[in-house]
Amino acid sequence: MSPGKRGLIIAIDGVAGSGKSTTAKLVAQRLGYMHMDTGAMYRAVALKMLRCGVEVTDSEKIDDLLRNTTVTQKESDSQPRIVLDGADVTDEIRTPEISLWVGPVSENPLVRQHLVRWQRELGKDGGVVLEGRDIGTVVFPDADLKVYMVADLKARAKRRRKEMLAKGLDQSQAEVEASLAARDERDSTREHSPLRKADDAIVVDTTNLTIGDQVERVVELARKIAPTAIRT
Ligand code: DC
């Protein structure tokens, strides 16, 4: 850990539904770090573009829009609340419509450029767990710890379906599997910052792990890097 930093920079990347969000949130709680859900930031930008009727191909309007947009996070006990231009949009960004629309939005290089800048600014002092697709490869290639989370498609779909049901959204297992598979394909084959494991990332396969196991594994890896700073 570099001197003067508040703590480690921990990057957690991986496929959708691998358990990144829950793990990142709980690891951050254990270590007293900030949790940054970068996917939620892309979702908030997608929501704003949708509301303002800005097409994903209109670079000029996107640039203008993003210069006048703020996306921040408020810590809360459950999940971080996402605040877009001062209003809490945590629930609006999780609809199936935004899940579809955020794909093309996150492929736009201009959108990525703005978001990577915001993320670096928010995380540069350390003491942060960032989760996303390009954290260890692009946002913080020098992160102190890089974790790459994977899990079987079936296991991921089962978890995602449960989360959706809790919010009153009912989709069949087959539908959820198909949508996750399509997102995997899209995230890993896109032109700009595709999802890929950084060479120095440690793979954690969560197919047969409980949430507690996942968290313990990441905390243990962090402890190995900074044994004196992390005693929890
Ligand atoms: O993790 P999520 O499902 O909330 O992510 C939403 C979208 O944003 C998904 O299509 C992948 C994309 N994303 C990205 O391109 N880069 C990140 N660092 C995080 C998410």
How many angstroms does the Cα of residue 168 sit away from the middle of ligand 1? 22
Look at residue 92 in the predicted model and tell me its pLDDT.
95
Among 21, 60, 66, which Cα is nearest to 45's? Answer: 66
Round the average pLDDT of the chain to a whole number and report it.
92
Share of the chain above pLDDT 70, in %: 96
How many angstroms does the Cα of residue 132 sit away from the middle of ligand 1? 6
pTM > 0.95: no
How many angstroms does the Cα of residue 180 sit away from the middle of ligand 1? 12
> How confident is the model over 150-172, as pLDDT tens digits?
999 999 999 999 988 998 888 99
Give the distance between the most distant pair of CA atoms in the chain: 51
Q: Which of 42, 139, 188 has most ligand 1 atoms within 8 Å of CB, for mutation? A: 42
Residues of the chain where predicted confidence (pLDDT) is lower than 50: none
> Measuring CA to CA, how many Å separate 19 from each of 7, 13, 90, 178?
23, 10, 18, 18
Look at residue 121 in the predicted model and tell me its pLDDT.
94
Q: Where are the domains of the chain?
A: 7-33+126-224, 38-125
Q: Is there a common fold for 7-33+126-224 and 38-125?
A: yes
Look at residue 229 in the predicted model and tell me its pLDDT.
74
Which atom of ligand 1 is nearest to 135's Cα?
18
How many angstroms does the Cα of residue 219 sit away from the middle of ligand 1? 23
The residue whose C-alpha atom lies closest to atom 9 belonging to ligand 1 is: 103
Strand bridging mode 128-132 / 34-37: parallel
The residue whose C-alpha atom lies closest to atom 7 belonging to ligand 1 is: 39
204: phi then psi, degrees, rounded to nearest 5: -120, 115
Domain 7-33+126-224 grouped into CATH 2.40.50.140: no
How many angstroms does the Cα of residue 133 sit away from the middle of ligand 1? 6
How many angstroms does the Cα of residue 38 sit away from the middle of ligand 1? 7
Q: Which of 41, 133, 138, 192 has most ligand 1 atoms within 8 Å of CB, for mutation? A: 133
Question: Which residues, judged by CB distance below 6 Å to any ligand atom, belong to the binding site of ligand 1?
Answer: 16, 38-40, 42-43, 102-103, 106, 132-134, 183, 187
How many angstroms does the Cα of residue 175 sit away from the middle of ligand 1? 19
- CATH architecture type of domain 38-125: 3-Layer(aba) Sandwich (3.40)
